[in-house]
Structure 1
Amino acid sequence: MADANIRIPEEAKDRLAAIAAAEGLSLRAYLARLAETLLTPAERAERAERARAALQDWNGYAPTPSEQQELDTELDRRLAEARGR
């Protein structure tokens, strides 16, 4: 596997290296594992669409775009409230 150079602030590199070391990994191994566990925006959208389809198949739940926006707004409000505690 070819290596790549990535430029990040020294503080970020040091933090990631400390996290990796605490898990018994090199920074290289930690970043490779991290990349394998995170989803791209396209993967997240695909997974969300599959979840919506499964929910609709299971119980017929199919919110309209405006209902979805209202639910998203309410979730954002609740998350902000929880962070403020």
Structure 2
Amino acid sequence: MNSMGEDEETPVIHSGSAVDWSAGRETRLDGYVPVPVSWRGPIKEAAMSDANVRIPTEARDRLARIASSEGMSLRGYLSHLAETLLTPEERAERAEQARAALREWNGYDPSVSEQAALDAELDRRLSEAGAR
């Protein structure tokens, strides 16, 4: 261990650095590879430091292909995902806002059991559609 508590045998990849992914690191890291990720807030805030995340090689390669098809770097694509995906709390808040808007607009206010039945029906239909 070094003075920062990091294992000196494990490579530390900093975003923006040139990385040779073919150096056999995948086997040394049990099939996981470090992926540099940038954590940035809204433009008004100063940029925070980068973080390293270890993911399976296949996941990294897939994300890199998706990012490239969108004209983005992997770092930029992951930052975009972090900025646009909702947390469970944010989804629940938006769902409640939608229910409140529907109640006010047309009186629609299903009970918990009615919501569960509607969710089950939607799941059934999605499952049916996916089997085709």
TM-score, normalised with respect to structure 1 = 0.95
Q: 1:3 aligns with which of 37, 42, 50?
A: 50
With CA pairs under 8 Å and 6+ residues apart, which has the higher RCO, 1 or 2?
Answer: 2
Using the TM superposition, give the Cα deviation of residue 79 of structure 1 relative to its aligned residue in structure 2, in angstroms: 0.7
The number of residues matched between the two structures is 85
**AA partner of residue 19 (structure 1):** I
2:63 matched to which residue of 1?
Answer: 16
Q: CA RMSD in A?
A: 0.8
What does residue range 47-66 of structure 1 map to in structure 2 within 5 Å?
A: 47-66=94-113
Q: Identity over aligned residues, as a percent?
A: 72
2:91 matched to which residue of 1?
Answer: 44
Greater Cα offset, 18-27 or 54-63 = 18-27
Using the TM superposition, give the Cα deviation of residue 5 of structure 1 relative to its aligned residue in structure 2, in angstroms: 0.5
Using the TM superposition, give the Cα deviation of residue 19 of structure 1 relative to its aligned residue in structure 2, in angstroms: 1.2
Gap runs ≥5 in structure 1: none
Report the Cα distance in structure 1 between the residues aligned to 2:118 and 2:65, rounded to whole angstroms. Answer: 39
Report the Cα distance in structure 2 between the residues aligned to 1:15 and 1:70, rounded to whole angstroms. Answer: 36
TM-score, normalised with respect to structure 2 = 0.62
Residues 44-80 of structure 1 show CA distances to partners (whole Å, capped at 9, x for unaligned) of: 0000000000000000011111111111111111111
1:25 counterpart = 2:69:
no
Greater share of residues in strand: 2
Structure label with greater radius of gyration:
2
Gap runs ≥5 in structure 2: 1-47
**AA partner of residue 88 (structure 2):** P
Residues 2-47 of structure 1 show CA distances to partners (whole Å, capped at 9, x for unaligned) of: 1000010011001111111122211101100111110000000000
